[in-house]
Amino acid sequence: VVDQVGLVGRMKMLFNEASIARIRHAQKKLPTQLPDLTVVGAEEHLTVAQEIADRSITLVRDVTEQLPLGYESLAVVTITPKNLTPADTSADAQIRLAEAVQKRRPDAKAFPLSYQAGKDELRSILEATHDFDKVIVGTIGADKDESQAEFVNALIARDQQPIVIALRTPYDLVAFPGVDTYLCAYGLRDVTTEAVARVLFGEIEATGVLPCALPGLLPS
């Protein structure tokens, strides 16, 4: 028994030594200096990021063929993100969907709408957007925010079919299944909102593919 215990102990030592040797061998292959971080955000990187964003935009539906946009009067309503958990940093995001649209149409008007907006704010934005030919709405988590659903459905009810862009998950459509024109962008960054604007104005085609099923609406 003593010999067996000793054998086990020696085997553990050998395994440990072998493990340490592998770790040291791997460490020798690691760089000893950090790469030059000044290259991050270089023009080449931004070009690649824009190409990726351009390819990601998904046109889920455009029943009444509202796209590409013409010379109609445009309102752009963007949800103001809010931190929903302690780890969430959404409130720090600057969503520039309106700015991307205004690059093409300087006369387009921008309207921020709070996440979980109150009745007074909803009423105010609905009144402000009443006379526009087209209302573009950038939504964030609308399937979990009744105020966004109420706003979009109110536009539909008054025959002012909005163009909705889900800026995060694709599931927003569940909150307003009657919307005719619906796109998924999957992000809030500038390259993404620029890609959305390119699709809206027919500069590029929407080639993204819906990555999931929408319950009760679309299969995967």
Element (H, E) at 74: strand 74-80
Q: What is the residue extent of each domain of the chain?
A: 1-32, 58-200
CB 155, CB 66: distance < 8 Å: no
> What is the structure's pLDDT at 15?
64
> What is the structure's pLDDT at 150?
98
pTM: 0.81
- Residue 49's contacts (CB-CB under 8 Å, 6 or more residues apart) are 189, 191
> What is the structure's pLDDT at 37?
73
Q: Classify 58-200 by CATH class.
A: alpha beta
Q: Which regions of the chain are under pLDDT 70?
A: 1-15, 219-220
For residues 205 and 47, what is the distance between their CA atoms, to the nearest angstrom?
A: 18
